[in-house]
Amino acid sequence: MTSVLGYYLGVSYRRKRVDADLESLAHHFRGRVLDVGGARLRGRFRPPAESHWVVADLAGACDVRADIVALPFQSGAFDAVKATEVLEHVPDPAAALRECARVLRSGGHLVATAPFLERLHGDPGDYARFTETMWARLLAEAGLHPVRIAPQGGYFTHLAGLVRFLVLRAPAGVRHLGYGLFPLLDLLARLDARPSVQRSEFASFVGGYLIVATR
């Protein structure tokens, strides 16, 4: 199986959306960038060549072993901080955001993502899901100014993802037949981008959030 086909078949809608959002925000990842929780490479986003990338994690192939609530760096040491799919695994996300704010230089950007309508997944623990309102509050309490708190995926993406999840865990023969549904599921997921859907009650279903904030 080629890497392109493997990515298409094996990577969730959520991870693909995170990848796409990170690619669109690559201009923020210049200078010294701290990637918290980035030891395991997931998806296909990779650091821009012009950045000085520092990975801090509790384990794995990282540059620095560190907890997000106690980062061993001087204040204002980084131009950007990336924390994707990390904050749901932190018992005290408010403390984590304060530390991210502390190590950011003035005017630097925090880029984070967090799931909402997603299955529980330990890494090693999965503690919380927050709404846009709560993320805005947590950012403000950390001294960060939200530039963008945007929903990632909605009702139809989640519905398509549930069917996809079922297909990927079916016995081999059924799974191979189920792959034929994937293009239809892609079309279903795209309904979330329609203006009529975004103005409807379907928009109250949110797969997760993209968070961009400055210090």
Give the contacts of 36 (CB within 8 A, at least 6 positions apart).
56, 57, 66, 68, 71, 81, 82, 83, 86, 100
Strands (DSSP E) contained in the chain are 31-36, 51-57, 64-65, 78-84, 104-115, 145-151, 208-214
Minimal CA–CA distance to 12: which of 185, 203, 213? 185
pLDDT at residue 90 is higher than 70 = yes
Residue whose structure tokens are 């947590």: 138
pLDDT at 49: 92
Helix or strand holding residue 132 (H, E): helix 132-141
Termini Cα distance of the chain = 44
Taking the C-alpha atoms of residue 175 and residue 178, their distance in angstroms, rounded to an integer, is: 5
Mean pLDDT of 190-204: 97
**Residue 123: its pLDDT value, please?**
76
Q: What band does 41 get if pLDDT is binned at 50, 70 and 90?
A: confident
Nearest CA to 115 out of 99, 100, 131 is that of: 131
Burial label, 211 (beta-carbon count in 10 A; 0-12, 13-18, 19+): buried
Return the pLDDT at 2. Answer: 66
Q: How far is CA 72 from the centre of its chain?
A: 23
Whether 209 and 150 have beta carbons less than 8 Å apart is answered as yes
Chain centroid, CA 105 distance in Å? 22
What percent of the chain has a predicted confidence (pLDDT) above 90? 95
Task: Return d(Cα 185, Cα 36) in angstroms, integer.
Answer: 32
* pLDDT exceeds 90 at position 91: yes
Over residues 122-172, the pLDDT tens digits come to 878 999 999 999 999 999 999 999 999 999 999 999 999 999 999 999 999
pLDDT confidence tier of residue 1, bands split at 50, 70 and 90: low
Among 135, 152, 153, 151, which residue's Cα sits nearest to residue 213? Answer: 135
What is the spatial order of strands in the sheet that 104-115 belongs to? 64-65, 51-57, 31-36, 78-84, 104-115, 208-214, 145-151
> For the whole model, what pTM was predicted?
0.94
Residue 211 clears pLDDT 60, i.e. is over it:
yes
Give the mean model confidence (pLDDT) for residues 161-190: 97
